[in-house]
Structure 1
Amino acid sequence: MEEKKTIEKLLEEAKKVREKAYAPYSNFKVGASLLTEDGKIFTGCNVENASYGLSLCAERNAIFSAVSKGERKFKALLVVAQGEGTVAPCGACRQVMREFGEFDVYLANTDGKIEKTKVSELLPKAFGPENLEEKY
């Protein structure tokens, strides 16, 4: 897919799944769409829980869905929420994204504003799988 069409498709899918979010406590619905290296798209929405720590963010939901289907190589992730600015992944999501390497990340809002970044820009000097291979 050409980049502009890819981003439009990712935004469309993320906005659709955002509507399925379970956010009765924050009322802050988030959607994410993840593009694999071979062109598949996986989506996820945030799912809150009365025990807040058990909530799951949209980004991790999309990544875990892809991983459960055997996917490990990602090309891009788009995250969308309502608001004036764009929404960015939390620290936990950034670390999970980093586990699967470097890829593009699009931060968006429901009005169509989009910012492009990369995993390494969101989580500089990150701890990753290669750190476990180092001898100390």
Structure 2
Amino acid sequence: METINWQTLYARAVASCQPRDVSNSVYAGSVAAALVTSRGTVFTGVSVDTACSLGFCAERNALGSMLTAGEQTVTRIVAVRGREILMPCGACREFLRQLGNPDVEVLVQLAPLVSVKLKELLPRYWQA
């Protein structure tokens, strides 16, 4: 299995970031995310913003695609707005953590390369 490097994952996220109006009430793609699973599969997702505030984050969109495809173990994830790297919000961190891998790597910056583990972002996480 080929290991997906950070530059490739970042490039996939940037390529997916295509902001657009979907309707008068829905705006999509201002943030994009790319993740890689333990099987080496890459999934991407975009944010969906709605007038009624029932939208969702790019990371959770990518995670939903991963789960739909039958996979469940994320190893790396990156979110971007344009070319800017973003940290996952609290809801995305919580969802990632509930999937069971505290060692998910989150990209912080490319040059120099900095990543953190999810368990560092949620250091005192409760265990069910």
TM-score bracket for this pair, using the shorter chain length: 0.7 to 0.9
Cα deviation code 1:37-84 (max 9, x no counterpart):
0110000110101012x111011111111011111111111111247x
- 1:31 and 1:58 in contact (8 A); partners too: yes
Identity across the alignment (%)? 30
Please say which of residues 91-100 and 15-24 is displaced more in the overlay: 15-24
Partner of 2:70: 70
TM-score of the pair, normalised by structure 1: 0.76
Partner of 1:81: 81
- 2:47 and 2:56 in contact (8 A); partners too: yes
By percentage of residues, which structure has more helix? 1
Structure 2: gaps spanning 5 or more residues: none
RMSD: 2.7
Partner of 1:106: 107
SS of aligned partner of 1:31: strand
SS of aligned partner of 1:127: coil
- 2:33 and 2:45 in contact (8 A); partners too: yes
TM-score of the pair, normalised by structure 2: 0.80
How many residues in Structure 1 have an aligned counterpart in Structure 2? 122
Runs of 4+ in 1 over 4 A off after TM superposition: 20-28
Partner of 1:18: 17
Cα gap change, 1:95/1:75 in structure 2, threshold over 3 Å: closer, same or farther? Answer: same
Partner of 2:115: 116
By percentage of residues, which structure has more strand? 2
